[in-house]
Amino acid sequence: MAKFLRPKTWLFNSPVGESLTDFLQTPTYTTFSEKAFQDSEVRTDNDFYFYDFTGKLLYDIDPYHKIRVSLIHINNDLDNITVNRDDNETTESSLDQINISFGGSLESEWTDNFSTHANVYYTQYRLTAFSITESASRQLYQNNLVKESSAKLNTNYKLNPTLNWINGYQFTETGIENITRLNQPFFESSVKGVIRSNSIYSELRYEAEDKNLFAQMGGRLNYIANINTFEKILIEPRLSVAYEFVPNFKLEALGEFKSQYTNQIIDLEQNFLGLEKRRWTLADENVLPVVQSKQGSLGINYDENRLYVGIEAFYKNVTGINVYTQGFQNQNQFNGEIGEYLGKRA
């Protein structure tokens, strides 16, 4: 059945939030701030400011074609002065964290049996940190920039009233830059990288007419390329089954392979306001492999009104874990070893 145009519908929403602490400090804020920065060896003075903005546009071209656009922008700014009570040395630090993301989607219902969902987005994260002692003998500057853009097309074809066939393609490009400058001892580093991911996926989704059985089976094929170091193909099968064998009793089985090519590493011993030690970086298949996981679970549960009781057995194996990402504090924390972990629960 063909779809015909109907009257258009608009809806726009745009809330804005901003901190009041630059001219108003409530007792709750003061107590929390003192608790967060208390230290028996130092005296601190802090100036914190933030604001956020979100916007959303909903536009119905007609009942069968709908456009959605969204935007979010967040800015956190913290200035800190620390005085060491032992030697009276003053350290000034600043931390600026900016997030901005926007995206749009088009949902289209072409026939009673076929629909599509196209989606694009762009996101950017920047963390800038600077610390300087009163004598300027030690200065530390850090910048971590993450940019990601993606486009995705999803199709849904209804084979019959109980069976859907879902297919899609997704392209993602992620770029990360890390800059560090330290004057004493002198150290300077600037690392940039880009990873592009092309993925196709397909799955069958079944739901019985009496709703007592739901099954979803499919897979994802990923081609991941770091333009400087490696190319990799990953196959990720996925399975999900839920069966209500008697009223209110349900048996569930889940299983999937997953992968991740971004990590947060810890590469400095000193702790700048608790945040600088973790910085985003890309896999290179050398020092930092692509993290891969295999996980599955099997459980049974009872759910009626406000009562829920469940029993589950769980298995998860993750490979490609570098000690840089774990925050270990021992003699091996910076040796770059790669390992894995196995989790089981019953």
At 6, is the pLDDT very low, low, confident or very high (cuts 50, 70, 90)?
A: very low
Among 17-21, 161-165, 169-173, 282-286, where is mean pLDDT lowest? 17-21
Quote the tokens at residue 271. 């702790």
User: What pLDDT digit, counting tens, does each position of 209-232 carry?
Assistant: 988 999 999 999 999 999 878 999
CA distance 39 to 176: 34
Which uninterrupted H or E stretch holds 31? helix 27-37
At 5, is the pLDDT very low, low, confident or very high (cuts 50, 70, 90)?
A: very low
Report the pLDDT value the prediction gives residue 1, as an integer from 0 to 100: 39
CA distance 10 to 62: 11
Report the pLDDT value the prediction gives residue 313, as an integer from 0 to 100: 93
CA distance 257 to 237: 6
At 33, is the pLDDT very low, low, confident or very high (cuts 50, 70, 90)?
A: low
At 275, is the pLDDT very low, low, confident or very high (cuts 50, 70, 90)?
A: very low
Q: 113 or 10: which carries more pLDDT confidence?
A: 113
The residue ranges of every structural domain in the chain are 1-112
Report the pLDDT value the prediction gives residue 149, as an integer from 0 to 100: 97
Report the pLDDT value the prediction gives residue 227, as an integer from 0 to 100: 83
At 91, is the pLDDT very low, low, confident or very high (cuts 50, 70, 90)?
A: confident
What average pLDDT score do residues 98-121 get? 96
Q: Is the pLDDT of residue 272 over 70?
A: no
Neighbours of 290 (CB within 10 A): 22
Q: Is the pLDDT of residue 50 over 60?
A: yes
CA distance 342 to 346: 14
DSSP codes joined into one string, 118-179: EEEEEEEEEEEEEEEETTSS-EEEEEEEEEEEEEEEEEEEEEETTEEEEEEEEEEEEEEEEE
In the chain, what percentage of residues exceed pLDDT 70?
Answer: 77
Contact 104, 68 (CB under 8 A): yes
User: What pLDDT digit, counting tens, does each position of 122-149 carry?
Assistant: 999 998 888 887 666 778 888 899 999 9
Q: Is the pLDDT of residue 30 over 80?
A: no
Mean pLDDT of the chain: 83
Nearest residue to 116 via CA among 56, 68, 58, 168 = 168
What average pLDDT score do residues 22-46 get? 57
Quote the tokens at residue 142. 């850090």
Neighbours of 211 (CB within 10 A): 8
